Amino acid sequence: MTAAALPVEALAADGGTQRPASPWPVFWIASAAVFLVSLDTTMLYAAFGAVRAGFPGTSAADLSWVLNAYTVVYAAMLIPAGGLADAHGRKKVFMLGVTLFLAASAACGWAGSVGWLIAARALQAVGAALLTPASLSIVLAAFPQNRRAVAVSLWGAVGGLAAAVGPSVGSLVVASAGWPWAFYLNLPLGAISLWFGAALLEEAKRPESRRRVDVVGMALLVLGVGAVALSIVQSESPHWTRGELLVAAASGLAGLIGFVTWARMSSPRTAASKR
């Protein structure tokens, strides 16, 4: 995940917020949540065989949605989540994202059926998408301008480290405690991030900067990115025909074109020119 993939507004620090004496506690709170997201994503690949053994009557194609549902929902929600953080406050959206991610992690571990597990993974992806851009915005707001490049580099390194150690940690945890602990492992570190986040993080959005949420634009963007991601994820599936893949891809492209058209029509500059 790079800063370039996030909305410009979500990356701007708020000059009206007083920075604490040291930005590093804020950095570690925000980065701990991102560490969990990256760790969970790669750890599950190592745990997939154990998950399949835990549901012996389920086909590999059906069980693949434990991975695919997360990928599609996360891809579809990531950019709109940055807009929600801008509109409603980065701390608020970050805390909501961490809470959803932890609740969904617990639900994944308790899953008694594949359908339950897939639904919990989709909710987990929503939480991950909400907390990721808000986390970077919080980090940037905590650091002065001349130190932000270092902060962003370290923020990205935390996610990279988690992705690198995820398969090894996943194999170890699953072998010693079973596949549910690939999800339960998120709970202690996530709870620490929530506890200290509630106490130390400050809202980085000025009340006067509140913007309305563009529901139509967000819906078109979620449809477009989600459908395109779905067509890519299922491109090798024997259960999807070429025609179905083309319909999914075409629906995604139509959603993205609709989003661009809507954004141009609803932009303040376009509205002013019509007057």
| Nearest alpha carbon to residue 37 among 89, 7, 11, 73 | 73
- Name the pLDDT band for 271 (thresholds 50, 70, 90): very low
3 state SS of 59: coil
Q: How far apart are CA 143 and CA 134, in angstroms?
A: 15
Average pLDDT over residues 48-69: 85
Average pLDDT over residues 206-214: 56
Query: Residue 220's pLDDT is what?
Result: 85
Residue type, 207: P
Average pLDDT over residues 20-44: 88
Q: Which residues contact 264 (CB under 8 A, 6 or more apart)?
A: 270
- Does residue 193 have a pLDDT over 60? yes
- Name the pLDDT band for 41 (thresholds 50, 70, 90): confident
Tokens, residue 98 = 């961490």
Q: How far apart are CA 80 and CA 222, in angstroms?
A: 8
- Does residue 158 have a pLDDT over 90? yes
Query: Which residue would you say has higher pLDDT here, 249 or 236?
Result: 249
Altogether, the residues listed in the chain come to a count of 275
Query: Which residue would you say has higher pLDDT here, 224 or 26?
Result: 26
Query: Residue 164's pLDDT is what?
Result: 92
Residue with tokens 């959603």: 255
Angle of helix 65-88 versus helix 90-110 axis, rounded to 10: 160
- Does residue 173 have a pLDDT over 80? yes
Q: How far apart are CA 256 and CA 273, in angstroms?
A: 24
Average pLDDT over residues 50-64: 84
Average pLDDT over residues 267-271: 55
pLDDT tens digits along 104-156: 999 999 998 999 999 999 999 999 999 999 999 999 999 999 999 999 999 99
Angle of helix 215-233 versus helix 65-88 axis, rounded to 10: 160
- Does residue 19 have a pLDDT over 70? no
**Helix ranges, the chain (H):** 8-11, 24-54, 60-63, 65-88, 90-110, 114-142, 148-177, 181-184, 186-200, 215-233, 242-266, 268-274
Comparing 15-29, 95-109, 110-124, the range with the smallest average pLDDT is 15-29
pTM (2 decimals)? 0.79
Average pLDDT over residues 29-43: 90
Percentage, residues of the chain above pLDDT 70: 85
